[in-house]
């Protein structure tokens, strides 16, 4: 997911939501990076997110996962790219939590873990899926 933050800061947390999910959501990995342009990220800015010290987490039905605080200097109005790897096939009947018309181009990658990729190009959508907030402190 591509996002622009309002305020700058030195530490971030990412919120991944399964608020409307009817089944558990397994997150295999997640990363954050500064966005360069379109689907590309700024070289050297990619960092792994963790959840209670682990690289993966399972989000219960109707629940939310908040990443551990991460040192990630971010300017006001900075653009970031958050990549989330979902190892399970969520299927067409999965109740997705997100904003269906976010008016921000986001990218779906082909199957597999692409959280370390520096170019996130793939199918596009204007929806924000699963990532519900980026806390900057």
- pLDDT, residue 89, reads 80
- pLDDT, residue 127, reads 66
Short-list 115, 133, 106, 135, CA closest to 1: 106
Q: Each residue of 102-128: pLDDT tens digit?
A: 566 667 788 889 999 999 777 776 766
Distance separating alpha carbons of residues 1 and 106, to the nearest angstrom: 5
Q: How many domains does the chain have?
A: 1
Range(s) of the domain holding residue 71: 2-136
Residue 95 pLDDT class (50, 70, 90 cuts): low
Q: Each residue of 59-81: pLDDT tens digit?
A: 999 999 999 999 999 999 999 99
Residue 94 pLDDT class (50, 70, 90 cuts): low
Assess contact for 5 and 77: CB atoms under 8 A.
Answer: yes
């Amino acid at each position: 997911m591509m996002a622009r933050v309002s305020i700058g800061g030195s530490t971030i947390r990412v919120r991944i939501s399964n608020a409307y999910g009817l089944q558990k959501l397994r997150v295999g990995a997640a990363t954050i990076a500064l966005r360069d342009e379109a689907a590309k990220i700024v070289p050297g800015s990619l960092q792994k997110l963790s959840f209670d010290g682990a690289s993966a987490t399972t989000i219960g039905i109707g629940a939310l996962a908040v990443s551990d605080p991460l040192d990630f200097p971010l300017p006001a109005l900075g653009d970031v790219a958050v990549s989330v790897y979902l190892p399970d096939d969520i299927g067409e009947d999965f109740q997705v939590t997100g904003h269906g018309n976010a008016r921000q181009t986001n990218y779906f990658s082909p199957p597999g873990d692409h959280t370390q990729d520096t170019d996130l190009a793939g199918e596009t959508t204007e929806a924000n899926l699963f990532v519900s907030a980026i806390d900057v402190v």
